[in-house]
Structure formats: C-alpha cells, structure tokens
C-alpha cells in the first residue's frame, strides 16, 4: 500500500515546502473579502447618510423659502389693506382737493421708495379712470402726470377687484407684465394686488391696485440656491415653470403653444407621482425632488385667478404654487462616485498593508504544518531508510488483513535479514553499514509493487507485505 491515514511520503514532505504561497493566497483572499465587505458596508452607510442629510437640507430650504414667500405676501396684503383705508385718500374722496390728492401721491411715493418692491400704486375710480398713479422708475418713485393717466375699465384686475366686498383682497396670477398687448421687454414678472375703496358712508368709490415686482420673490429663490446642491424652482398648478431649470423654460403659458414648456413635459413620471400630494420628496433616476405646495395668501383673501386646481386642492384657498428644490441625478450621485473612489483608494492601501502580515502568517502556518508532518514521519518512518517502521507496518497489516477478509484476497508476509551484517559494521564501521542498509532498502523497494509494503523493523531486519497474490508461489 502507498498511503494510510496520518502517513506521508517523500513527495508530500517535499511539497509542504511550497505551501507558503498556498496559505498566503488563501489568507490574502480572505483578507480581501473582509475588506471588500467592510468597504461595501461603509459605502452603503455613508451614501445612505448623505442622502438623508441632503433630503433634510433640501426640505429645510423649501420650508424656509415658503415662510419667506408667505411673509412677503403678508406684508403686501397689509400694505394694500392700508392703502384702501388711507386717510388722505378718504379725505380726497370727500373733498376732491388737489392738495390732498398730491398728499395721497406722496404717501404712495413714500411707500414705493421704502419697500422697493412695487412697480406701481394706483387709485382707480368707479369708471376705470386712474386718479392717482405712482411708478417706480430706476429705483425712484415718480408721480405720473394727470394727462398720462389711463382708463382701465375692462381690465381683469380692475373688474375683479371692483366686485369685491370690504376687507377682501384681489391677487392676480403670477405672470409677465404686458404693455400695449405685448410682453414687456426685458421681462417683468408681476403680481397685482387690489382692494376696493369705500368712503366713510360705506359707498364703493373705486379700487387701489398695487403692482408687485415678482422678481423680488424670484430673487429669494435664487438666494436659496446657495444653500442647495441644486436649484430652487417654482411651478404653477398646471406645471408651468415660474422659475425653471433654464430661462427658456419659464412663463410658457404666456407664449404660443409651440414654445410652451412644463414640468410634466420634462419629468412626466415625477409629475404623476407628486400629483395630489401637498408636499414630499421623490428620489428617481432624474435626481431628488423636494417640494411643497405654497398657499401664500390668507384664507379670507379672494383669488381672482381662474386656474384649475390640479395639485393640493384646498377649499379655503385656490391660489397656490409648487415650490421645489431639485438636485439633478449627476449632482446627487456625484458624491457617491467620489466616495467610492476614496474608499477604493483606502481599500488598495489596506490591501498593500495586509500583504506583508499575510506572508508572515502564511510562513508561520506552513512551518507549523511542516513540523506536524515531520512528527508524523518520525512516528511512522524509519529515519535511516525512509521505510515504514513497526508502527506503520502494524497499520498496513491491519488494512491488508481487513481487505483480504472482505474481498477474499491472498497476501503474504516475508521476513528478511542480512547475513554477515554484523561483520560489516564491525570491520568497516557503522557508516558503511548504514549505507548498506539504505542500498538494500532501495533495491527491495525496486523489486516490489507500489501496492506492497516494505518496512524495516529493526537492525538489518525487513518485513515485506505482498498484497493481492494469486498463488503461494507468487510470494
């Protein structure tokens, strides 16, 4: 037999010296797998944490801008309510005194200069005639001369405001200012606020119209961009851009159909998801959308708009916009890409640092295995001839016997010793005797099969176990 449990031959012993590389590869691959797992976990945790932080930051920015817009509207509504009850105006309505009219214009001028956000303030009588008008020109209030005043009967903001009751305020759609039937250039975003004026007897005498420069509101969105990874956007209920991804996207409803662009056209799936929701966040293949529906006017404010409610219906107020912070996918996921590069560099460094320890550990394991193999050899093989010793011979005999009983095989046991070996040792010395034993062992092994066992049991005594023989003569 060639092999038994716990035995080892010369080839196995020789190959054990090459096992350092084997153990090194195994340890290195295991270390790599662990590092890869750790890096993957760190990447997922940091990416998730970054997304959560970004979502909180974006939503906070939307909430802040929403409060700013609501605050602006509150101020404007307070101003229009004040103007509708202005003492100078009421005095003029009673007296028609031109000095009082000039005082009224001065009040308008003072308010325009103080606020810096109004394009015009006008008082229009019941017939639609502008009675007092102050324009904001190049940062300064300018009172319009009587001969330049116009009649506004038939204009929607005049008619709608005139139909209101005391205490109500008209708010126009947020759109672009028109001059002589065409869009004014450069573009001038505008929101008109109006309130009816009653005299001390409760008779309606006209309306006060205040033109708010909408660019001031849009500037707040532009300022908010500094707090964001992306851009603050503003939509009306039909999905038209009031502030868009580009200037060309904006105010589409003011132009011909072939130039109209909407959020729905750009992001149809996202529009479908946010439709019906007052606020929330979407993470899609296009990026992160953080949005909130703004109701900038108070519950008691009357809206003269005719816009249809498509998103966020509320019975108390039909004047609303969609404020949205948007981060494109390439910006949102750029952090993940940079993080992946940093972690990859870290992983490579750790791999390199793990190389030397892995080699030392592999050497330690290999040397330990080699020592174990040497102990096995010492316990089972004759040190001089490398033949099995008595212990291994007993194991081999037990196996041969069991196989013989099981398969009805014949086997033979031969005993051999060297005649005159003692004389060799005595006359030529033990070194010569040892060489003789080694040579005899090699020749016996050459004459036997690989399935046979040649053992040295002591001195010049050898045992040969022949397996699977047919006849006694074969032995």
pLDDT in tens, 320-353: 899 999 999 998 888 777 888 888 888 888 888 8
Domain ranges of the chain: 53-308+316-333, 390-469
Q: Give percent of the chain above pLDDT 90.
A: 40
Q: How confident is the model at residue 473 (pLDDT cuts 50, 70, 90)?
A: low
Q: How confident is the model at residue 422 (pLDDT cuts 50, 70, 90)?
A: confident
Under CATH, to which class is 390-469 assigned? Answer: alpha beta
CB contact at 8 A, 158 and 151: no
Phi (first) and psi of residue 426, to 5 degrees: -70, -40
Which residues, 6+ apart, have CB-to-CB distance to 11 below 8 Å? none
pTM for the predicted model, two decimal places: 0.66
Please indicate whether the domains covering 53-308+316-333 and 390-469 agree at the CATH topology level. no
Q: How confident is the model at residue 141 (pLDDT cuts 50, 70, 90)?
A: very high
Q: How confident is the model at residue 318 (pLDDT cuts 50, 70, 90)?
A: low
CA distance readout (Å), 17 to 161, 322, 357, 360: 99, 74, 19, 15
Between residues 115 and 394, which one has the greater pLDDT? Answer: 115
Question: What local confidence, expressed as pLDDT, does residue 14 receive?
Answer: 52
For the cut 80, the answer to whether the pLDDT of residue 386 exceeds it is yes
Question: What local confidence, expressed as pLDDT, does residue 472 receive?
Answer: 62
CA neighbor of 86 nearest in space, from 127, 136, 121: 121
CA distance readout (Å), 81 to 74, 209, 299: 11, 11, 15
CB contact at 8 A, 4 and 396: yes
Q: Under CATH, which architecture does the 53-308+316-333 domain have?
A: 2-Layer Sandwich (3.30)
For the cut 80, the answer to whether the pLDDT of residue 300 exceeds it is no
Give bridge partners of residue 137 from the DSSP assignment.
Answer: 140
Per the prediction, the chain carries an average pLDDT of 85
Q: How confident is the model at residue 17 (pLDDT cuts 50, 70, 90)?
A: low
């Amino acid at each position: 037999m060639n092999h038994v449990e716990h035995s080892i031959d010369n080839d196995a012993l020789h190959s054990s010296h090459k096992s350092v590389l084997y153990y090194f590869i195994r340890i290195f691959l295991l270390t790599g797998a662990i590092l890869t797992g750790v890096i993957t976990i760190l990447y997922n945790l940091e990416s998730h944490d970054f997304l959560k932080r970004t979502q909180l930051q974006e939503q906070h920015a939307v909430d802040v801008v929403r409060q700013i817009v609501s605050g602006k509207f509150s101020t404007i509504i307070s101003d229009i309510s004040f103007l509708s009850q202005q003492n100078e105006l009421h005095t003029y309505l009673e007296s028609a005194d031109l000095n009082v009219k000039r005082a009224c214009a001065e009040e308008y001028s003072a308010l325009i200069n103080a606020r810096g956000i109004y394009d015009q303030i006008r008082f229009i009588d019941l017939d639609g005639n502008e009675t007092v008008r102050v324009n904001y020109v190049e940062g300064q209030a300018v009172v319009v001369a009587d001969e330049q005043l116009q009649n506004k009967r038939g204009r929607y903001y005049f008619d709608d405001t005139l139909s209101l009751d005391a205490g109500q305020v008209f708010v126009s759609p947020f759109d672009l200012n028109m001059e002589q039937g065409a869009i004014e250039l450069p573009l001038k975003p505008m929101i008109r606020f109006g309130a009816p004026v009653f005299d001390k007897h409760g008779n309606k005498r006209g309306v006060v119209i205040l033109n708010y420069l909408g660019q001031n509101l849009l500037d707040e969105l532009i300022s908010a961009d500094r707090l964001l990874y992306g851009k603050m956007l503003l939509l009306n209920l039909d999905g038209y851009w009031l502030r868009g991804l580009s200037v060309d996207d904006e105010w589409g409803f003011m132009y011909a159909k072939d130039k109209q662009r909407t959020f729905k056209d750009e992001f149809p799936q996202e529009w479908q998801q946010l439709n019906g929701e007052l606020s929330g966040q979407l993470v899609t293949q296009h990026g992160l959308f953080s949005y909130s529906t703004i109701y900038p006017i108070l519950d008691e404010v009357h809206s003269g708009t005719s816009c249809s409610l498509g998103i966020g219906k509320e019975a108390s107020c039909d004047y609303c916009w969609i404020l949205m912070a948007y981060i494109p996918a390439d910006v949102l996921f750029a952090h993940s890409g940079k993080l992946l590069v940093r972690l990859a560099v870290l992983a490579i460094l750790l791999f390199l640092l793990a190389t030397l320890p892995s080699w030392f550990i592999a050497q330690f394991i290999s040397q330990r295995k080699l020592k174990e193999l040497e102990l096995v050899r010492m316990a089972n093989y004759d040190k001089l001839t490398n033949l099995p010793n008595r212990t291994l011979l007993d194991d081999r005999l037990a196996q041969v016997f069991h196989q013989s009983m099981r398969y009805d095989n014949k086997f033979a046991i031969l005993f051999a010793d060297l005649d005159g070996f003692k004389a060799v040792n005595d006359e030529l010395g033990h070194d010569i005797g040892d060489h003789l034993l080694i040579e005899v062992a090699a020749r016996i092994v050459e004459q036997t099969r690989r399935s046979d066992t040649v053992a040295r049991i002591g001195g010049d005594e050898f045992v040969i176990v022949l397996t699977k023989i047919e006849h006694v003569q074969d032995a």
